[in-house]
């Protein structure tokens, strides 16, 4: 009897092991099999946004990209050998929380205020960046910073932590844009449509409080509804698509910034939405057409989900993409993860070539990380960079991996 039971148990164990190891098509096992081992990133921590400046002496012009992490500024540029390389400098001004630029000036935000530099010479020279005395306010603390239309704006909070405002930052001054009664939220994005500035805000305490201010560099008012009531929508970010300005709410729903009406699919009447909780990251990039980055334009939106798994979502972070057409979302466009194959998405452009394993590699690399900013450089390969929370700078480019003949996300190293 004992021998029979032992044989039965052994048979059952073998069957169980067979089911486990033959289940490689199960999403969990398959995704583990496609994971890419990433080396430590060159730029660690939680890097800032990226800023691009064209600088030079007229005879030779440099396309220079800046990003900061900790107290250091990292500089991506084309050297005299026509190679794009990284340089690093530490201005010793404290932790840099935000970075932005105009055509000629670089602005960094530290606990001591906003510092301004006019870059000169090659990026790897000692005197390339010399920063001014910080711009400060006796009543407010500068918390966020963004650029639009060659202007710099900062979201501030008063010293008692009870009121927000928006400031326009110049080379030496900070002037209020919304006044001291802005109680609706902290600035989290700025856009310009050719005639007006739009400021996206969200309260940092109240879950549903926020809105959009519209105006000039010196005066902006909160957009109201037809009855004169203030909207209270927790907007997370804003972006201009040519002359159209689109904002995204915490829910992931897209809004027309002028009317604050939701953008809708013309056929279904449903809201155009990421379907995921939004972290406010918005960026416009060129799609990958199989050989180079000159395909259709895409709007990328960072996401921050609950712990769910379905056909189109592998992890809780990363980004989604939707095709643009002219200065708007393409009709019938829908957000989806990059690199998905299948007949229903065969003609949809993407940041990833729809090749074997490209979407699966996305899910197991950048798809596992919370993003802060996305930026496409104007280098030879139109590299897309992403700064992450606590996991450094990542890049979407060919990674010298013979097993993958398409660009994929990995740490920038």
Predicted TM-score of the model (pTM): 0.87
Helix, strand or coil, per DSSP, at residue 145: strand
* pLDDT value of position 35: 62
Phi, psi of 31 (to 5 degrees): -65, -40
CA distances for 346 relative to 89, 311, 322, 341, angstroms: 45, 16, 14, 6
Tell me the pLDDT tens digit for each residue of 72-111: 999 999 988 889 999 999 999 999 999 999 999 999 999 9
Residue tagged 């005197």 (tokens):
127
CA–CA distance, 347 with 154 (Å, rounded to integer): 41
- Rounded-to-integer distance, Cα 349 and Cα 46, Å: 30
Over the stretch 199-227, which tens digit does the pLDDT of each residue have?
A: 999 988 777 788 999 999 999 988 876 65
Greater confidence (57 vs 332) lies with: 332
Average pLDDT over residues 114-134: 89
C-alpha dist (Å) from residue 223 to 181, 201, 253, 328: 15, 12, 18, 21
The closest of 249, 256, 297 to 273, measured between CA atoms, is 249
Which one has a higher pLDDT value, 36 or 312?
A: 36
Lowest mean pLDDT across 149-158, 224-233, 235-244, 306-315:
306-315
What is the rounded radius of gyration, in angstroms, for the C-alpha atoms of the chain?
Answer: 24
pLDDT-based confidence at residue 282 (cuts at 50, 70, 90): very high
| pLDDT (average), residues 12-29 | 46
C-alpha span between 413 and 411 (Å, rounded): 6
Rounded-to-integer distance, Cα 401 and Cα 177, Å: 50
Contact indicator for 355, 406 with CB cutoff of 8 Å: yes
pLDDT band at 305 (very low <50, low <70, confident <90, very high): low
Supply the pLDDT for residue 120: 86
Per-residue pLDDT for 238 more than 90?
Answer: yes
What's the confidence (pLDDT) of residue 353? 82
Is residue 264 very low, low, confident or very high in pLDDT (cuts 50, 70, 90)? very high
């Amino acid at each position: 009897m004992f021998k029979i039971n032992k044989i039965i148990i052994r048979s059952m164990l073998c069957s169980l092991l067979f089911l486990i190891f033959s289940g490689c098509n199960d999403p969990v096992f398959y995704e583990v099999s496609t994971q890419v081992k990433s080396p430590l990133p060159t730029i660690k921590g939680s890097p800032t946004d990226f800023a691009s400046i064209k600088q030079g002496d007229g005879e030779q012009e440099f396309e220079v990209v800046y990003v900061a992490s900790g107290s250091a500024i990292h500089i991506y540029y084309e050297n005299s050998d026509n190679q794009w390389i990284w340089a690093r400098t530490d201005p010793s001004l404290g932790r840099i929380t935000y970075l932005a630029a105009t055509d000629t000036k670089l602005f960094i935000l530290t606990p001591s205020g906003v510092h301004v530099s006019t870059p000169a010479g090659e990026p790897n020279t000692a005197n390339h960046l010399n920063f001014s005395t910080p711009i400060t306010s006796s009543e407010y603390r500068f918390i966020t910073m963004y650029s639009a239309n060659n202007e710099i704006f900062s979201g501030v909070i008063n010293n008692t932590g009870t009121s927000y405002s928006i400031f326009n930052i110049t080379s030496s001054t900070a002037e209020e844009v919304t006044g001291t009664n802005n109680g609706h939220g902290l600035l989290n994005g700025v856009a310009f449509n050719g005639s007006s500035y739009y400021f996206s805000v969200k309260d940092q305490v109240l879950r549903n409080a926020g809105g959009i201010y519209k105006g000039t560099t010196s005066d902006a008012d909160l957009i109201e509804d037809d009855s004169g009531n203030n909207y209270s929508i927790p907007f997370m970010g804003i972006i201009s698509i040519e002359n159209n300005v689109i904002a995204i709410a915490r829910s992931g729903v897209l809004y027309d910034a002028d009317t604050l009406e939701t953008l809708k699919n013309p056929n279904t009447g449903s809201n155009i939405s990421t379907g995921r909780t939004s972290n406010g990251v918005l960026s416009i990039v060129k799609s990958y057409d199989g050989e180079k980055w000159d395909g259709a334009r895409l709007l990328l939106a960072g996401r921050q989900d609950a712990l769910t798994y379905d056909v189109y979502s592998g992890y809780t972070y990363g980004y989604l993409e939707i095709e643009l057409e002219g200065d708007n979302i393409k009709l019938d466009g829908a957000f989806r993860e990059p690199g998905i194959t299948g007949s229903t998405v065969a003609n949809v452009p993407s940041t990833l070539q729809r090749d074997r394993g490209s979407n699966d590699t996305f899910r197991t690399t950048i798809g596992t990380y919370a993003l802060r900013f996305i930026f496409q450089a104007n280098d030879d390969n139109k590299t897309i960079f992403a700064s992450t929370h606590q996991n450094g700078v990542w890049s979407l480019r060919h990674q010298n991996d013979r097993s993958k003949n398409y660009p994929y996300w990995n740490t920038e190293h």
